Amino acid sequence: MAKLFLLRHLKSQWNKENRFSGWVDMPVSKEGAEFAKEIASSLANEKFDVIYSSALVRNIQTVIKVLKNLGEKYPIFLHLDGGKMQKWGSFEIPDGSADYYPVFTTEKLNERSYGRLQGLDKQEMIKKYGEERVHLWRRGYDSNPPGGESLKDVCKRAIPFYKKYVEKDLKGGKNVLLVASHNSLRAIVKYIENVPDEKIIDLELPFGALRKYEFDGKSYSHLK
């Protein structure tokens, strides 16, 4: 059976500063980068054939730093934009190379947009709007932060992409590593594990969290 590995990116600088990041491109923090070794050790005995990543730099850096610690292959990045691969001239990644991993990046796997909250301190927003409302904006299913996306909105872009590309690879017997942000991963876990709308608020994935699944072509089994 094919295996799926879902990995949340390493802690970014704004994560460290407790700010809403959303679509803002912030690099991985020094503290986050050091955790890459631990993730690599969790993947050391695993095999994966292809990698998908959010287009945000904190996710791309996570891919690079984890693969560097694995020390086997290097990544070659290609961008999937709106479901169509952007080719570099006539270049295409051949299958079966022992030297590198193909890494397909896409905005479809980006973090939810936090709209007008982006860049602002989370604790200050709790003082302004109240803890319950901010928690709903961050973890609820259909609550939109001001000018931003709900998890329902993220599901509408992330899940169709996942079905079209990632699940297709899994059905073809490929092992897949998917690196993304918290809410795009929560959307995918919601789909994989069939989490009800009202229960998704309880799902938390820490920075660097790694979830493993087996896929038999029809259903997923969560691996410890």
Tokens 């287009």 belong to residue? 55
**Rounded Cα–Cα distance for residues 183 and 156 (Å):** 12
Helix (H, G, I), strand (E, B) or coil at 131: helix
Q: Exposure string (b/e) for 8-42, b if CB count within 10 Å is 16 or more? A: bbbbbbbbeeebbbbbbebebbeebbebbeebbee
Residue type, 180: A
User: Hey, which residues are catalytic here?
Assistant: 9, 111
Q: What is the largest CA-CA distance in the chain?
A: 54
Residue 25 CA neighbour count, 13 Å, CB half = 7
Q: Parallel, antiparallel, or unpaired for β 176-180 and 74-81?
A: unpaired
CA–CA distances in Å: residue 24 to residues 16, 72, 116, 120, 122: 14, 31, 11, 11, 15
Distance between CA 106 and CA 87 in Å, rounded?
14
